[in-house]
Structure 1
Amino acid sequence: MSDALLDAVKNGIMSVDLGRQLRVGMPQSPNHPQFWHTLPRRHGDMVRADGGSAANDMITTGTHVGTHIDALAHVSQDGLLYGGADAGQSCLGGKYVEHGVHTIEPMIRRGVLLDAAGFLGQEVLDGGYEITVEDLQGCLAAQHVELREGDVVLIRSGWGRKFDEGTAYVGAESGVPGISEAGAQWLAEQRIHAAGADSIAFERLAPGGGHSALPAHRVFLVENGIYIIEALDLEELARQRTFEFTFVLVPLNIYGATGSPVRPLALVAA
């Protein structure tokens, strides 16, 4: 019996890597532990009698560093998580049992890129710029795509081009472009499954405001059970003008964690 998915793979699949390479010193939110990678054993530290040698690694990292996904346990509002779960009681033995990242099923879904920067005729949106509902709707119309229930929506502000600049990407003084509470509410009404962006905190950060207010996180994670993916690399998708694709993402199966580093892929027929 023919398998349509296997047939598609046989006919050729092109993938676009949407994840950032994990490197010591890369920019990140100041609220999370840094990524660190070292080699406890290098070639030559121990050599077997046959001349063979092996190297190995040790990694320490926060779960919200680099390209990563927020589990529903990541944010609470007035002591409650998504679905009215008590944020305190949901943490058992130091693990968020009810809404931890281990509860996120692997994503193989329709993905939609909203190239807000491209739609607005800019390479990079200004720090602190609010991507409005009108911007999102105009972008959809210009790209000739529509949102459907269960989609994963990725929003490009162009801010990802600043990733290698480090401090500039964090945008503490300049602010960071992104959607606000209004944009999050509108996207939630479309019943999407997850949303992502090329910036450090997904949503708009006001100049000089840092991470002091994150209303889109509340709308998505607490009120609607919509996952958030941050620090995506969306430049190649935008360059190719690939606005619709198969989106693949699998979080690390860390029991009770509030998030996980990820390496998402956009797949299209070759």
Structure 2
Amino acid sequence: MAPIADIKVATSPYGPDDQLGALNLMTAGSQAAIMSRADASTVYDLSVDYFVGMPSFQAAGDPSYQIFMSHTPDGTVVDNLNGAGAEVNQRVCYSGDVVFMYTHTGTHIDALNHFGVDGKIYNNFSAAENLGSRHWTKGGVEQIPPIVARGVLIDVADLHGVPCLPDSYAITVEDLQKALEKAGLALRSGDVALVRTGRMRHWPDGSKVLGAPPGLGLDACRWLTAQSIIAVASDQECVEVGPSQHEDNWLPGHCHFLAEAGVPMIELVNLEELSRDRVTELCFLAAPIRLRGASGAPVRPMAMALRD
């Protein structure tokens, strides 16, 4: 294990009020261009279901996913909480529910306020000035617009000829470059990079999906952002390799992507069907729930192959 290379919170080149970071590279023109090439005959759903007992990150004390019925057809007849009366409630079957979970559960996106360095998040917004009793006032997930962009599948598991990379395998710059070369593709400014480790083939077996994830080493993280990507996604719990290879930072990739590069991270993305069908260049669509100030939110990414 080695000390981490210097990571600093970046000042946005888009001005002191900027909360979009790399997403500024996505424009109406770039969205229209990629949508014009999308083959809508097959739409790939890259998300997972939410259910009680699903694998989720709880190592730092965060809660598991829970769902409770707040209204049931028979219960509504008994308690009449809607005030409609027994006769109406016996005819109208009313159901409602409540969900309780950590915002970084299942397929989700990390906002720029999720990780920072020395008390500041991307664009030098400080916790002292921008963090209230409930949430951040800057860098929240509601700032992330619907993402419509060229996506590139970087299939590192396929490169190595394995169903899934070994636990704690650190993906290198060479791995990324060789996987792209094998696919005959290159990353471009404004792309979303989707890195496949193969972990999602084990979903929803928590004993195989979570813990000691294969993922990006810090040099590989930095190489990706140097290609001017607007977001990074992976099929495991934290995009980067775990445990950390650096003694002074437990999630250096998060600090780099979010605080240093202003690049949102999308985690637990199901890339198995894209890999199976050899869809490596795609139209990528994703939009998070707009939870004001939150550090993350569920997201349902979708993909379509591109026409030539």
TM-score, normalisation: structure 1: 0.90
Give the match for residue 224 of structure 2.
187
Contact 1:109 1:248 in 2 (8 A): yes
Q: C-alpha deviations, 1:192-241, integer Å up to 9, x for none?
A: 0000111111110139x9xx721111110000100000111110010011
2:135 counterpart of 1:95: yes
Give the match for residue 35 of structure 1.
65
Give the match for residue 49 of structure 1.
87
Contact 2:171 2:217 in 1 (8 A): yes
Contact 2:46 2:303 in 1 (8 A): yes
- Secondary structure, counterpart of 2:288 in structure 1: coil
Q: Distance in 2 between matches of 1:121 and 1:5?
A: 30
2:111 counterpart of 1:71: yes
**How far 1:90 sits from its partner (Å)?**
1.6
Contact 1:150 1:191 in 2 (8 A): yes
Partner residue of 2:145 out of 105, 122, 142: 105
- Secondary structure, counterpart of 1:88 in structure 2: helix
- Secondary structure, counterpart of 1:74 in structure 2: coil
Q: Distance in 2 between matches of 1:220 and 1:73?
A: 11
Q: Distance in 2 between matches of 1:265 and 1:148?
A: 20
**How far 1:87 sits from its partner (Å)?**
2.5
Contact 2:284 2:301 in 1 (8 A): yes
Give the match for residue 201 of structure 2.
161
Q: C-alpha deviations, 1:150-195, integer Å up to 9, x for none?
A: 1111100001122221122212xxx210011111010010010000
Unaligned runs of 5+ in 1: none
Contact 1:200 1:231 in 2 (8 A): yes
Looking at CA atoms only, which structure, 1 or 2, has the larger radius of gyration? 2
Tell me the amino acid that sits aligned with residue 65 of structure 2. F
Partner residue of 1:201 out of 238, 241, 264: 238
Unaligned runs of 5+ in 2: 1-31, 78-85
- Secondary structure, counterpart of 1:59 in structure 2: strand
Tell me the amino acid that sits aligned with residue 136 of structure 1. L
TM-score, normalisation: structure 2: 0.79
> Percentage identity across aligned positions?
35
Gap change, CA 1:45 and 1:8, over 3 Å in 2: farther
Contact 1:13 1:269 in 2 (8 A): no
Higher strand share: 1
Q: Distance in 2 between matches of 1:121 and 1:6?
A: 32
- Secondary structure, counterpart of 2:201 in structure 1: helix
**How far 1:5 sits from its partner (Å)?**
8.8
Task: Out of 128-137 and 53-62, give the one that drifted further.
Answer: 53-62
Partner residue of 2:266 out of 205, 229, 243: 229
Give the match for residue 26 of structure 1.
54
Which stretches of structure 1, 4 residues or more, deviate above 4 A after TM superposition? 3-9
Q: C-alpha deviations, 1:81-117, integer Å up to 9, x for none?
A: 1112213322134221110111111101111111100
Give the match for residue 256 of structure 2.
219
Contact 2:34 2:149 in 1 (8 A): no
Aligned residues: 262
Task: Out of 86-95 and 96-105, give the one that drifted further.
Answer: 86-95
Q: Distance in 2 between matches of 1:8 and 1:190?
A: 22
